[in-house]
Structure formats: structure tokens, C-alpha cells
């Protein structure tokens, strides 16, 4: 019984520690799927011509809008939102540092394929990991 309790405690510690480092799973390209507020669907995106790119290292980074191209590359805009990441009450907080103001978003869910963000106005943004569309040379 003592070994089982020790194992459970160790498992809890390992899971809680690995979650702290899990923010770097945010790195990469995310395609918006929908926006809701107060349980109401505000907009569903069957297709978006831009993708959000996140880069996080040592709890600092940026977010950029990029446009996928048919050759698998991206057209990158000059606009970039710098950010810091903190963890409060078990949730990751993205604090954007803008010249005129600072705003934040909470990550409500993140895994390798899905991202859900709540902004400070109550909008919930659902993203899926971006998967490029492959077009063969014959057009298929």
C-alpha cells in the first residue's frame, strides 16, 4: 500500500511539473475555427486566409499573423505582438506588450492539436493546429 501511495504522489508531481513546461507546445501555426461569447457562436471560420504564428522561449515571445502560400511557405506581415507568459491559478496568461496598452489572454486549453483562448472582453477563440493543404503538381 505504501508503494502505491508513493507511486501516486510521484505521478502527481511529474504531471504537475510537466504541465509547467507545456507552454512551448504553443509554438507554431494555429488556424482559427470559431469565436464565441457568453455561449453564443459569434463566428465560425470554414476557411481563414491568415494563420496565427506563436513563438515562445523562456516565457517570452511573440504572435504574428501569416498568410499561407500554395508552395507551403508563408507570407509574413511586419506586425508582431510581443508577449510574456505567466501562470496564475493553474492557467497560462499571455500578456501582450504594446506601446499604448497592455492586454492579456488566458489559455483555457492547449494540447498538440487544439488551443482555446479567452480574451479580456470575454471572447473565446478556438484554434486547431494548422495543417498545410498539399497541392500536387497535377492540381490534385
CATH of the domain at 68: 2.40.128.280
**For residue 36, what are the domain limits?**
24-129
For the ranges 9-13, 64-68, 128-132, the lowest mean pLDDT is seen at 9-13
Asked if residues 25 and 112 have their Cβ atoms less than 8 Å apart, the reply is yes
Residue 115 falls inside a structural domain: yes
pLDDT for position 16: 41
- Note the pTM of the prediction, 2 decimals: 0.78
Residues 23-49 pLDDT 10s: 999 999 999 999 999 999 999 999 888
Q: Which three cell numbers stand for residue 81?
A: 505582438
Whether the CB-CB separation of 124 and 114 falls below 8 Å is answered with no
Within-domain flag for 1: no
Task: Look at the chain and report how many structural domains it folds into.
Answer: 1
In a domain, 6, yes or no: no
By residue count, the chain amounts to: 140
Question: What does the radius of gyration of the chain's CA atoms come to, in whole angstroms?
Answer: 18
Amino acid at each position: 500500500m505504501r508503494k502505491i501511495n508513493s507511486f501516486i504522489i510521484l505521478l502527481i508531481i511529474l504531471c504537475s511539473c510537466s504541465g509547467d513546461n507545456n507552454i512551448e507546445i504553443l509554438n507554431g501555426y494555429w488556424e482559427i475555427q470559431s469565436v464565441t461569447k457568453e455561449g453564443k457562436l459569434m463566428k465560425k471560420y470554414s476557411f481563414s486566409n491568415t494563420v496565427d504564428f506563436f513563438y515562445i522561449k523562456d516565457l517570452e515571445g511573440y504572435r504574428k499573423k501569416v498568410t499561407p502560400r500554395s508552395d507551403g511557405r508563408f507570407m509574413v506581415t511586419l506586425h508582431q505582438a510581443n508577449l510574456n507568459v505567466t501562470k496564475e491559478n493553474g492557467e497560462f496568461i499571455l500578456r501582450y506588450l504594446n506601446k499604448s496598452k497592455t492586454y492579456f489572454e488566458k489559455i483555457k486549453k492547449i494540447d498538440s492539436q487544439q488551443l482555446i483562448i479567452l480574451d479580456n472582453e470575454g471572447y473565446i477563440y478556438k484554434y486547431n493546429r494548422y495543417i498545410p493543404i498539399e497541392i500536387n503538381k497535377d492540381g490534385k
